[in-house]
Amino acid sequence: MKTQRENSRLTTADRLVLTAMRLFGEKGYGSTSVADILREAGANSGSLYHAFPTKQDLLVAVLGLYRDGIEPMLLEPAWTGVDDPIEQIFALLASYRSRLEATGCTYGCPIGSLALELHEPDPPVREALAVNFDGWVSAVEGRLLAARDRLPAQTDIRALAQFVLTVMEGGVMQSRTHRSLQAFDAGVTVLRDYFQRLQTPPPTPDSTERS
């Protein structure tokens, strides 16, 4: 039983996608050569190009795998043992923090890295990236909706969910660049303060005003 390399009981195509997923996350798309993928997957170039017309099609397959993995690989592990929907959001952020910490602030969000690395991606790639962001945002949106009654009535829930993604991605970017968790933690702390204030009923100093 070989454990090195991507699970060798899988088909070659699956091994290639899993290896590419890992390497694209580690080194980016452009800096990962087809030869790198073939070597680490233990496959030959003919096998790759039998399963995928081009390297870019392999990338699209990787992005599809990320999309399908959001629920079972990302959300579910982050949320087990956390009941409060808003705390689930922060548990999700904490999972990114763990990832940063475990890798010395080199790994972050592979989707975000790819999104900024590929400046003018072909439509299928750009759409696959957007679908990943949408899936993430929708998951957070679901948690916010579960806490709807704790938030101001006029809150734009979708926009707030996008904002959570924004804070995560921006924090990861800075933490990776500074090789320090400080920036990520600062972002989460400020976001928590914002949620605190959202959940605190407004001034009501006199009485009327504010709908």
Partner DNA sequence: TTAGGAGTTGATTGATCGATCAATCCAAGA
Partner DNA sequence: TCTTGGATTGATCGATCAATCAACTCCTAA
Q: Under the criterion CB under 7 A, does residue 53 sit at the interface with DNA?
A: yes
**Token digits of residue 133:** 């962001």
Q: Binder to DNA among 22, 56, 157, 173 (CB under 7 A)?
A: 56
C-alpha–C-alpha distance, residues 172 and 175, integer Å? 5
Q: Under the criterion CB under 8 A, does residue 205 sit at the interface with a copy of itself?
A: yes
List the interface residues with a copy of itself, window 67-126 (CB under 8 A): 106, 108, 112-113, 115-117, 119-120, 126
Cβ nearer to a copy of itself, comparing 95 with 174: 174
Cβ nearer to DNA, comparing 50 with 178: 50
User: Residue 7 burial by CB count (10 A; 0-12/13-18/19+): exposed, middle or buried?
Assistant: exposed
Q: Under the criterion CB under 7 A, does residue 87 sit at the interface with DNA?
A: no
Select from 53-61, 87-95, 100-108, 187-195 the region that touches DNA (CB under 7 A): 53-61
**Token digits of residue 105:** 């602030």
Among 20, 25, 102, CA closest to 59: 20
**Contact, 121 vs 129, CB < 8 A?**
yes
Site residues (vs DNA, CB under 7 A)? 11-13, 32-36, 43-51, 53-56
